[in-house]
Amino acid sequence: MSSLLSSALPLSVPRLLASAVLVPTSLLVLRGLYHLYFSPLSSIPGPWYAAVSEIWILVHTLRCRKVRAIDELYQIYGPVVRIAPTTIAFLDKDHEQQTTRLVYNALKLDKGPLYDAVHMNGHLHSVAIIEHSVHAKYRRIFSSHYSPGNIALLHPDMKASAELLVQKVSEAKDRPLDIFPGIHLVMIDLILKSTFGHDQGALKAWSEHSHDIIMSAIEDYGRLILIQGIVPDWLFGIVRRFPNKRWQTFCSSGDTLFNTMADFVREQQKEKDAGRMDERDKPTLIQRFFAHNDTCAPADRLSFEDMTSESMTHLLAGVDASAVAVSYILWRFANQPESVKQKIQAELDDAMPDAGSIPDWKTLHNLPILDALFKEGLRLHGPIPTFLERLAPKSGPLDLLGYQLPPGTVIGTQSWSMHRNDGIFKNPEEFDVFRWLDSDQPQDAMLQAWAPYGLGTRVCIGQHLARGAIKTCLAALLRNFDVLPHPETNEETMEMMELFGMFPVGLSCKLNFRSRS
Res 5: pLDDT: 47
- Other C-beta atoms lying within 10 Å of the C-beta of residue 33: 12
CA 237, 227, 121, 186 torsion: positive or negative? positive
Instruction: Tell me if 184 sits within 8 A of 213, measured CB to CB.
Output: no
Res 170: pLDDT: 94
- The span from the CA of 415 to the CA of 382, in Å, is 8
> In this structure, what DSSP letter does residue 109 have?
P
- The span from the CA of 224 to the CA of 211, in Å, is 20
C-alpha dist (Å) from residue 418 to 62, 177, 196, 484: 23, 33, 36, 30
The per-residue pLDDT string of the chain (517 residues; one tens digit each, 9 = 90 and over) reads 555 445 545 556 666 666 666 766 777 777 878 888 889 999 999 999 999 999 999 899 888 899 999 999 999 999 999 999 999 999 998 878 899 999 999 888 888 777 665 555 555 455 555 566 666 777 788 888 999 999 999 999 999 999 999 999 999 887 899 999 999 999 999 999 999 999 999 999 998 777 889 999 988 887 887 777 677 788 888 888 899 999 999 999 989 999 999 999 999 999 888 888 766 667 899 999 999 999 999 988 988 998 998 899 889 888 999 999 999 999 999 999 999 999 999 999 999 999 999 999 999 999 999 999 999 999 999 988 889 999 999 888 999 999 999 999 999 999 999 999 999 999 999 999 999 999 999 999 999 999 999 988 888 889 999 999 999 999 999 999 999 999 999 999 999 988 767 889 998 999 999 999 7
Picking from 383, 325, 319, the residue whose alpha carbon sits closest to that of residue 509 is 325
Number of H helices, E strands in the chain: 20, 11
Known binding-site positions for heme: 460
Q: Which CATH topology does 48-126+135-515 take?
A: Cytochrome p450 (1.10.630)
Res 96: pLDDT: 82
With helix as H, strand as E and coil as C, how does 216-267 read?
Answer: HHHHHHHHHHHHHCCCCHHHHHHHCCCCCHHHHHHHCHHHHHHHHHHHHHHH
Alpha helices in 78-178 (DSSP H): 98-101, 132-139, 148-170
Picking from 335, 359, 326, the residue whose alpha carbon sits closest to that of residue 503 is 326
Res 269: pLDDT: 93
User: Which pairing describes strands 87-90 and 410-414: parallel, antiparallel, or unpaired?
Assistant: parallel
Res 426: pLDDT: 96
Known binding-site positions: 460
Round the CA-based radius of gyration of the chain to a whole number and report it.
Answer: 25
Sheet strands side by side (includes 410-414): 80-84, 87-90, 410-414, 387-391
Instruction: Tell me if 410 sits within 8 A of 350, measured CB to CB.
Output: no
In 3-state terms, what secondary structure has residue 389? strand
- The span from the CA of 507 to the CA of 223, in Å, is 12
- Give kind and range of the element (H or E) at residue 281: none
Instruction: Tell me if 179 sits within 8 A of 330, measured CB to CB.
Output: yes
Res 23: pLDDT: 66
- The span from the CA of 331 to the CA of 372, in Å, is 16
Ramachandran sector of residue 201 (left: φ over 0; alpha: ψ -120 to 50; beta: rest): left
Instruction: Tell me if 385 sits within 8 A of 503, measured CB to CB.
Output: no
Instruction: Tell me if 177 sits within 8 A of 484, measured CB to CB.
Output: no
* DSSP assignments along 464-503, one per residue: HHHHHHHHHHHHHHHHHEEEE--TTSSTTTT-EEESSSEE
Instruction: Tell me if 161 sits within 8 A of 475, measured CB to CB.
Output: no
Picking from 398, 214, 393, 225, the residue whose alpha carbon sits closest to that of residue 315 is 214
